Structure 1
Amino acid sequence: MIWSEKIVVIGAGAFGTALAAVIALAGRADVTLLGRDPALVSDIERMHEHETALPGIRLPANLKFSADPAVLADAGIVLFVMPSQAQREAARQYGPHLSAESVVVCCAKGIDRETGNLLTDVLEQELPDHPIAVLSGPGFAADIAKGLPTAMAIAAADLEIAERLAQAISGPTFRLYASADRIGVQLGGALKNVLAIACGIVEGAGLGESARAALISRGLAEMSRFVAAKGGQPDTVRGLSGLGDLVLTATSHQSRNLRFGIALGHGEPAEFFRGGLVEGAFAASVAARIAEAYPIDMPIAEAVAAIIDGSLDVRAAIERLMSRPITTE
């Protein structure tokens, strides 16, 4: 497969803008940021700054901007950088404009709420003629856009495609590691958001750092069981898209999932949180539903889902977790 050197990043939010900026900085490809809102795209292009999402960060001079899907016609690599629950709609909207040779990279961390499917499965259903890869791992948009050192994982069913994508997208401050385990990379990225909410609950309820450490370690065990049950490689969650991302989002207040958990730990109802999109809130309910159906032992994810839907309060959830039968690690 011969790829065009043109890369289009769909999604002019913080993460999409940051990815477009860091890829453009590498200077190896023609990079365009494609947004839905012509007025917003025009403002970003005029100022070369995304004042709302990435204030104070100057975007590269060679980064192009557009609100016209026609720019996809000759793109070799297309990054889908929109929320997990919007991936299917985006595929339907932009799919007709894709080049026949384009590779699509999903850059969301979640599980499809309606079907319980992985996002790569969703995109393969909608875009059956395109290879689908996934990018995930520890990286806040502002850090990436500022050019601070960041490493993430990129996975495709064909390892050669993942390796070529890693070479095409990586730059001096943004390093991608290739993987053939799309299942593990995706579930690591989705489930770490659930565990970050759990760690926020611990912080908000004042339960201490020891409890946070216990949640991170036992949460990794849950992630491994889930990945194995879904056909992935359990060791993948010990890498960038699992442990690496979990450590970042479970300890930094830049994480919306952590802040959401803190609000829950303070006793605020889930619907009162005003921190923006919380992917882990969607993933918790889906993961709990899948775990029950298999079954997979996922006590932390199930507790988070129950707290979010209001069927269990924080104190009762902690008591339930701490009163589980003593077993081996």
Structure 2
Amino acid sequence: MKQTIAVLGPGSWGTALAQVLAENGHDVRIWGNNEAQINEINTYHTNRHYLPDIKIHASIRGENELATAIDGADAILFVVPTKAIRVVAQEFVEKVKNKPLIIHASKGLEQGTHKRISEVLCEEIPSDKRQGVVVLSGPSHAEEVAVHDITTITAASEDINEATYVQNLFMNEYFRIYTNTDIIGVEMGAALKNIIAIGAGAIHGLGFGDDAKAAIMTRGLAEISRLGVAMGADPLTFIGLSGVGDLIVTCTSVHSRNWRAGNLLGKGHNLQEVLDNMGMIVEGVSTTKAAIELAHQVKVEMPITETIYSVLYEGKDIQTAAKEIMLRDGKVENEFSPN
């Protein structure tokens, strides 16, 4: 059944998801505050800064006014950076007139509060202004979804019916959605894998090979799982699409901003040079800080994340940091414990 969907955030992922929805026959509006970008979407059906080689479905309508974009929408899809989620949610509450389902496809933890994005959305959007909240996450690159590469991700909600609704909105011959009720695990996996991807990129930039790549991904997954479980997640989630699946794709692809940022760090660039070079948000940088603060709070050991933090925020030499983590005291591999 045709639905009206407002996509908030015309970046690469927001645009790719809007494209999927439009191709599935839904009425899609995409909102952003850059007037030139929205005019480009409406006039030329392109979004060259984010997806330079893609023609956007002609039915997608760009909107600069949030009230117009969300008017009468059945579902609202938040795809803005983590740091903008709370502000956009507050503006949404002021302007929404119906009670849509809230979906988000952003990946991160809020600075200061360390809250997951669904927690922020539920805090800011009262229950009389929304239905439930569904997380859409998993191993995916906008560049590949936009050209119909086969992709599988997860729709997670405490209400399986709402997850199934999102599954039906998006699923087609190249974009497959699985449902999950572990919203904590899906969001923690989505946020924390960006940290490990920075490390994987740094490993490449330093000139190390496949052995090192396998090590950081495997032990990184152990860290993600430890912190996720401490926050209430189902450990089995981390061997699924939003755990190991998302970790693989983000740690091994040049499409990954976090991997590219780490690669530049490994090649000797400082953090500000890296961020200036990227020209887009690198969620893993801010998530590293939030994750370390949260790990200290719940007493979970995360040595890889600590090492990445020391490089990003304390100016530690990256080659020295790599040597030091290898010389830590020996550990038991399968000890699933915070310590």
Asked whether the two chains share a fold, i.e. TM above 0.5, the reply is yes
Deviation at 1:10, TM superposition (A): 1.0
Q: Which amino acid aligns with 1:201?
A: A
Cα distance in structure 2, aligned partners of 1:218 and 1:53? 32
Match of 1:82 among 74, 80, 83: 80
Counterpart mapping for 1:8-87 below 5 A = 8-27=6-25, 29-69=26-66, 70-87=68-85
Query: Is 1:265 matched with 2:282?
Result: no
Equivalent residue for 2:336?
Answer: none
Equivalent residue for 1:325?
Answer: 329
Equivalent residue for 1:152?
Answer: 153
Cα distance in structure 1, aligned partners of 2:227 and 2:313? 22
User: Contact 2:186–2:237 (CA<8 Å) still a contact in 1?
Assistant: yes
SS of the equivalent of 2:18 reads helix
Cα distance in structure 2, aligned partners of 1:256 and 1:18? 16
Q: Deviations over 1:292-321 (max 9, x none)?
A: 121001101111111101342222322222
SS of the equivalent of 2:330 reads coil
Cα distance in structure 2, aligned partners of 1:234 and 1:316? 33
Q: Which amino acid aligns with 2:200?
A: C
Runs of 4+ in 1 over 4 A off after TM superposition: none
Equivalent residue for 2:337?
Answer: none
User: Contact 1:307–1:317 (CA<8 Å) still a contact in 2?
Assistant: yes
Deviation larger for 59-68 or 287-296: 59-68
Equivalent residue for 2:195?
Answer: 194
Deviation at 1:100, TM superposition (A): 3.2
Q: Which amino acid aligns with 2:74?
A: G
Equivalent residue for 1:293?
Answer: 297
User: Contact 2:23–2:57 (CA<8 Å) still a contact in 1?
Assistant: yes
Q: Which amino acid aligns with 2:271?
A: A
In the alignment, structure 2 segments of 5+ residues that lack a partner are 334-339
Equivalent residue for 1:282?
Answer: 286
Query: Is 1:232 matched with 2:242?
Result: no
Cα distance in structure 1, aligned partners of 2:318 and 2:34? 40
Task: Compute the RMSD of aligned alpha carbons.
Answer: 1.5
Q: Which amino acid aligns with 2:48?
A: E
In the alignment, structure 1 segments of 5+ residues that lack a partner are none
Cα distance in structure 2, aligned partners of 1:222 and 1:37? 38
Query: Is 1:179 matched with 2:180?
Result: yes
Q: Deviations over 1:186-217 (max 9, x none)?
A: 11111110000011111111122101101111
SS of the equivalent of 2:314 reads coil
Q: Deviations over 1:249-292 (max 9, x none)?
A: 11111111111111111222111111131100011111111111
Cα distance in structure 2, aligned partners of 1:211 and 1:48? 42
Q: Which amino acid aligns with 2:89?
A: A
Q: Deviations over 1:210-259 (max 9, x none)?
A: 01101111111111111100001111111111211111111111111111
User: Contact 1:54–1:142 (CA<8 Å) still a contact in 2?
Assistant: yes
Q: Which amino acid aligns with 2:175?
A: F
Equivalent residue for 1:302?
Answer: 306
SS of the equivalent of 1:133 reads strand
Deviation at 1:63, TM superposition (A): 2.2
Cα distance in structure 2, aligned partners of 1:104 and 1:156? 11
User: Contact 1:111–1:283 (CA<8 Å) still a contact in 2?
Assistant: yes
Cα distance in structure 1, aligned partners of 2:53 and 2:257? 20
Equivalent residue for 1:91?
Answer: 89
Equivalent residue for 2:117?
Answer: 119
Q: Deviations over 1:60-81 (max 9, x none)?
A: 2332222222231211111011
Cα distance in structure 1, aligned partners of 2:61 and 2:172? 18
Cα distance in structure 2, aligned partners of 1:170 and 1:84? 25
Percent identity for Structure 1 against Structure 2: 34
Residues 1:4 and 1:68: Cα distance change in structure 2 (over 3 Å): farther
User: Contact 1:224–1:235 (CA<8 Å) still a contact in 2?
Assistant: no
What is the TM-score when the length of structure 1 is the normalising length?
A: 0.95
Deviation at 1:85, TM superposition (A): 0.9
